[in-house]
A and B are shown apart, each in its own frame.
Chain A
């Protein structure tokens, strides 16, 4: 027993010291769960087609990823973080405080956010203004005065007479999700801005403007269904009256079960998102710590694989996985900046 204890302790001590000293020989990637499906595909192909080890990809969410990323330089910190939104100036400051001065930003493509219901139900055509009115916590008063009231709408017909007389029931991600942030910013704010007196608020009281436009109602019409988009799809199939909010890749994979609603006259299709016509779409990014390039093996090669034509290009394998590729000009720009490893400057 004593012997076992001693050998156990010795083994543990030796492992501890080796892990502390040993150079990490694989790339460590963290970040957004939206970018995760794409960066894992690249990581896998990269591992299979080169001598380098397959990078480790963690799904931590955009914010969590950037926090880890900015925690310092060295083995124990990630080399790359994925994000479904752009890095914030506060995060750049945090990075700088911890000694990370040079970050390379790579824009990889677009992701559309679908507003969808069961394929068995009637197809819906909706505007962003309707979405805002149906889902916001506070909406403009119905009498036309410029005041805000608690959201009174119960059915879609209440919001807009052309919509069906069905109860408003929307399943979507919780506030921790990048998809929710993007939905609030692109769809709800997009509709909210169409009221002139709220738009005017933006210059007077920015916080209030944000609270009004991004505030989602909490009376049961918007149901937080967790981060699992598959679950939302399943629930939509079970309940044809409900709508769901999730990423385009899930819509594409489940095209037989759910249908995307037309938003502001545009269907969430590959072409519409790529052209920028579909209003609820966002750019996806990843950030690379320049100090780690040349220290951790394989980062440059990983970047080359990610930005190669066969991955990110129009017919690349990332497009097969549901990512909407960049336009040709934007793509060429990205390739150039990755080759030169141009560090990020926020004054863009």
Chain B
């Protein structure tokens, strides 16, 4: 008796330890990502008043937006900083220019395009600083003995800017409104999120109807014979096929035979449909099976036909379960990179995709691309994008759980 009790106790302790271990891993992972990634949500800017010299730019208040784009705003900014800081010699001048992001000139262009009346006036801008300045301010400033990429002159300039309140950080809205960029300070996830959304839309529109139809047919209408058995086994097998295989299949069929263009949400969605279908079919069949036979029998007893029974009675009751399965399948598709490698979605796309046949990337691919970039500032962007992706996953999985709670019926 005593031995039995202690065995029970031991087993409980083992269980607790494994749960704690799992939790610990999760905490370490989240802690690491959060500590690295939260910095991605703030951005260093240089607040300064720039005179938009009409003569230098060759613009006037009636200039067209093409003329504005062609004007030398970069030169204007360089002159502005040169006068402000008075660098000594060519080398220092180059160092100074390298501290301002290439995006700063585009900021001016956008502002002037939106309001040509600004030309000739002195306007205060929050100019985006280069990623090296950003990294220095966030991580390296005041740390003894650290070997930063900034020179002593540059650090002296930055310290004086901080004293004057010019160098500050603000919330990084660009991270959410920009597409990809090669300049870390300008890179954002808008393009990737839009691409993910379009890809998942295609996946959902295709896999949900097909998956539900297949589940209903297999469960309710299919004759029990060899062929349906083979189909069933294969569906179960497909759920376990490595996802890269679906990518190869997509490359061979959709791109090479049907000529769908590479790198588009359309082809991505098609490939992910192949991947999520088995999940949806299997969960759909389980949901149909869970509908008690008494409901079916009652409907038959009232003279309903087979199709009426299925569509009026079984399907509405099984739908919550099917939706849960679909959401879980979609969440799986959301985090998938491997099959997309083969169909050209590992691409540098700056423009935010507008429709399902525009070139685009998805979030996990964006993370993969950034993790491979030499610039150090991309490390925190990578973690930042991971946080956003995890956020989406949590939302989708919570939705699945809530849906199940809300709609589930007990018999």
Contacts and interface: CB of A to CB of B under 8 A. Distances in A.
B375 A253 contact: yes
B356 interface: yes
Interface in B221-256: 255
A255 B149 contact: yes
Given A15-B357, A19-B261, A320-B98, A227 B372 contact: yes
Interface residues of B, number: 46
B261 A24 contact: yes
Nearest to A36: B348
A253 B359 contact: no
B88 to A, nearest CB: 18
Contacts of A22: 357
A43 B350 contact: yes
B149 A54 contact: no
Interface string B145-166: 0111100000000000000000
Nearest to B106: A48
A32 interface: no
A286 to B, nearest CB: 14
B209 A5 contact: yes
Contacts of B351: 26, 47, 53-54
B204 to A, nearest CB: 10
B182 A15 contact: no
Interface in A27-53: 28, 30, 33, 36-37, 40-41, 43-45, 47-49, 51, 53
A47 B182 CA distance: 12
Contacts of A26: 351, 359
A249 interface: yes
Contact of A56 (B69, B359, B369): B359
Contacts of A49: 69
Given A37-B374, A58-B344, A253-B376, A16 B258 contact: yes
A40 B149 contact: no
B282 interface: no
Given A15-B266, A44-B182, A8 B206 contact: yes
Interface in B321-348: 344, 346-348
Given A19-B259, A19-B261, 5 more contacts: A19-B357, A37-B373, A44-B348, A57-B347, A317-B102
7 contacts: A15-B357, A28-B359, A56-B348, A227-B372, A249-B374, A253-B374, A256-B149
